[in-house]
Amino acid sequence: MLGENIKSKFRPRDYELFVGLDVDKKHIDATFLDHDQRMKSMKMPYSADHLLAYTRRHFPGRKVVFAYEAGPTGYGLYDGLTAAGHECLVVAPSMIPTAPGRHVKTNRLDSRKISQFRLGGELKSIHVPTEACRHLRHLVRLRDTFVQQAVASQVRLKAMMLLEGIPFPEPSGRWSVGAWAALKTILCAPALRFKMDRLIDAYSFAQGQLRQTTRKIHRFCQDTPDLARNLHWLLSVPGIGRIIATHLLARIGDERLIQRGCQLSSFLGLVPSEDSTGDDVHRGSITRAGDPRLRAKLVQAAWVAIRQDPDLHAFYLRIYHRNPRPIAAQKAITAVAAKLCRRIACILKQQRPYVVREDSLAAKKEETVRPRE
């Protein structure tokens, strides 16, 4: 997990009380557990202040650590507890062990389970992003939403025209300026014309919102010094533009979370899955963990990068020739995307620009002008 080692190792003996929380939008189910296995469970309104007041009143002077599952309520509870000076973990639900055969699940039992696992030191916290990073994530997600809406309008327009036998104005199928102008003047039944106009309006609206959101993202990054600095380094990477760079910053947040070069590619699901036993090694397709939209953008960036960086181009060719023709390109470009992630991790960790080696550029130039045999 990205950034799991940035904090010092958790030692249960350093704390006196372990509080497991199960949180919904209205209530908190809390279980208080100490080293003697004395347990107390209760339900209270969803409020960090209420939880802190209860803890101070019933457990004064105790060193307390809290833990709860990440969910739709976000990080407000974490902010309130840490601001009061307490340690708090936000745990991914998939990382909480579940006993097989247990068929009873309640909020109280979940909070009890979290407190017991926290006492045993079996839980690891996800990295809680800073406020600036959370805001950037909102903007990046909003931009992707408008992209999806625009594409959906295009797909619906073409599907309606195919269904009704109306030829698309552009023979190549491209959405050119001329094609959009022709769509507004096509003669058809009133009901079809009404639907077509509404889909065109929906596309225009999504495009307008998309442009505004993109400008807002750029201004937000420029107004935040840490984001602006890292954005500068990322834009030096071949194939990485502002859209992909801001999405990367939204997901990574703090460059200090990167401990190893391969950590980012693993975080984004670009490393092979593995199911090995003993001497038998079985590696499968990529894990596809993390943000699928960012992973797709990085694969697109890899196609640009191999045209700009000779080393990445040579790496692409090596992987391509090792695989059967039907899957060679897909395998090779995915490997390039993973390698690009490792290089991105290095430049962010070292806070320096990406540099294409001069000898590689010279070799590529010589190869370009060399006559074919």
pLDDT in tens, 163-214: 999 999 999 999 999 999 999 999 999 999 999 999 999 999 999 999 999 9
As to burial, measured by CB atoms within 10 angstroms (0-12 exposed, 13-18 middle, 19+ buried), residue 219 is exposed
Residue 180 burial (CB count, 10 A): 15
23, 55, 223, 340 from 26: Cα distances, Å: 8, 19, 35, 44
Comparing CA positions, the residue from 210, 192, 190 lying closest to residue 202 is: 210
Predicted TM-score of the model (pTM): 0.86
Answer yes or no: is pLDDT of 90 > 80: yes
The CATH architecture one would assign to domain 12-119 is 2-Layer Sandwich (3.30)
Beta-carbon contacts of residue 96 (< 8 Å; ≥ 6 apart)? 69, 113, 114, 117, 123
Residue 152 host element (H or E):
helix 131-164
pLDDT digits (tens, 9 = 90+) for 107-144: 999 999 999 999 998 888 888 999 999 999 999 999 99
Distances (CA, A) of 93 to 96, 295, 296, 311: 6, 22, 25, 40
Residues 285, 350: Cα–Cα separation, whole Å: 30
Q: How many CA atoms lie within 13 A of 193 on its CB side?
A: 8
H or E segment to which residue 264 belongs:
helix 263-267
